[in-house]
């Protein structure tokens, strides 16, 4: 039926053209953003899953920062502990030399002065082995903790190692010195015990540092997996979208032509009255 009031062909052509234009807008948005799901209106379910995974990735970023800070505290403690071990070895050498009964008093006094200087250096090292306000070897804390998972429900704890003079590890007193061969010999024995204790403390700190390093590697792998998963959910395949865009451009041109042809149909009625 031909009518000047109703042009069904034009209506259909316009509907198809509008659908093509809508599809083109969708493809162009995907190309512009690189995302096939840029917001909840694109795909509510997928967007919600992706947002939850993004929150987990953000949480693991905080975990990595916590692990880095804690590891730095442990590394500083380890460096100080190793330095203290070297100082104790030097002090033992001085004490053993002073324990020789054939040594004259002046030489023993000189060795004692060196011994006390090394002793005081240990005290300074213990007091300055601090990172970000935390000292793991001066008995100021009982332990420190690093976050282990993205919701904070799990932590990795590192026990304090008190390396202060006169403590449970370095049993050498903060005022230790010698004036005789026998006193020097006794101190040499005390230092040997302290060295054995210190080696155990360093082993514990080294194990803790390794544990933090391993867990950070695991967290990084987990973060990478989550980011890959998010990409699989929301990233657009740009090669596919490019091909689709070209197809839609052709459909758009054909749709415009179809609409133009449909709009010309009513003009045929004029010929009936010529």
Q: Residue 274: what pLDDT? A: 63
Average pLDDT over residues 45-51: 94
Determine contact, residues 138/129, Cβ cutoff 8 Å: yes
SS (H, E, C) 20-56: HHHHHHHHHHHHHHCECCCCCCCCHHHHHHHHHHHHH
This prediction's pTM: 0.79
Domain 44-233 matching CATH 3.20.20.370: the answer reads no
Domain boundaries, the chain: 8-34+236-271, 44-233
For residue 229, with 0-12 CB atoms within 10 Å meaning exposed, 13-18 middle and 19 or more buried, which class applies?
Answer: middle
Average pLDDT, the chain: 92
pLDDT tens-digit series, residues 90-138: 999 999 999 999 999 999 999 999 999 999 999 999 999 999 999 999 9
* 27 Rama sector, left if φ>0, alpha if ψ -120 to 50, beta otherwise: alpha
CA count, 13 A, side-chain hemisphere, 205? 26
Q: Residue 7: what pLDDT? A: 78
Q: Where are the alpha helices (DSSP H) in the chain?
A: 8-33, 44-98, 105-128, 181-234, 238-264, 268-271
Give the separation between CA 179 and CA 113, rounded to whole angstroms: 10
Give the separation between CA 235 and CA 39, rounded to whole angstroms: 12
Q: In the numeric block, which tokens belong to residue 225?
A: 């997996």
Q: What SS3 class is residue 8?
A: helix
Angle ∠(104,106,111) on CA atoms, nearest 5: 95
Q: Residue 2: what pLDDT? A: 66
pLDDT at 6 over 80: no
pLDDT at 242 over 80: yes
């Amino acid at each position: 039926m031909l009518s000047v009031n109703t042009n069904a062909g034009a209506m259909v052509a316009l509907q198809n053209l509008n659908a093509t234009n809508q599809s083109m807008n969708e493809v162009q948005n995907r190309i512009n953003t690189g995302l096939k799901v840029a917001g909840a209106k694109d795909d509510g379910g997928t967007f919600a899953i992706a947002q939850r995974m993004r929150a987990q990735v953000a949480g693991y970023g905080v975990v990595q920062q916590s692990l880095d800070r804690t590891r730095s505290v442990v590394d500083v403690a380890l460096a100080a502990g190793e330095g203290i071990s070297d100082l104790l070895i030097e002090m033992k050498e001085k004490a053993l030399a002073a324990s020789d009964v054939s040594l004259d008093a002046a030489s023993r006094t000189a060795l004692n002065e060196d011994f006390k200087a090394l002793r005081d250096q240990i005290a300074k090292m213990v007091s300055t082995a601090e990172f970000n306000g935390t000292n793991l070897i001066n008995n100021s804390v009982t332990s420190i903790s690093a976050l282990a998972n993205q919701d904070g429900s799990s932590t990795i704890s590192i026990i304090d190692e008190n390396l202060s003079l006169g403590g449970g590890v370095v049993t050498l007193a903060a005022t230790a010195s010698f004036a005789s061969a026998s006193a020097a010999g006794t101190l040499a024995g005390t230092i040997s015990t302290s060295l054995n204790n210190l080696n155990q403390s360093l082993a514990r700190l080294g194990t803790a540092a390794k544990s933090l390093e391993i867990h950070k590697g695991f967290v990084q792998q987990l973060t990478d997996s989550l980011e890959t998963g998010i990409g699989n959910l929301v990233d657009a395949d740009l090669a596919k979208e490019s091909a689709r865009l070209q197809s839609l451009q052709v459909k758009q041109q054909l749709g415009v032509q179809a609409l133009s042809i449909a709009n010309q149909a009513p003009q045929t009625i004029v010929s009936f009255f010529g």
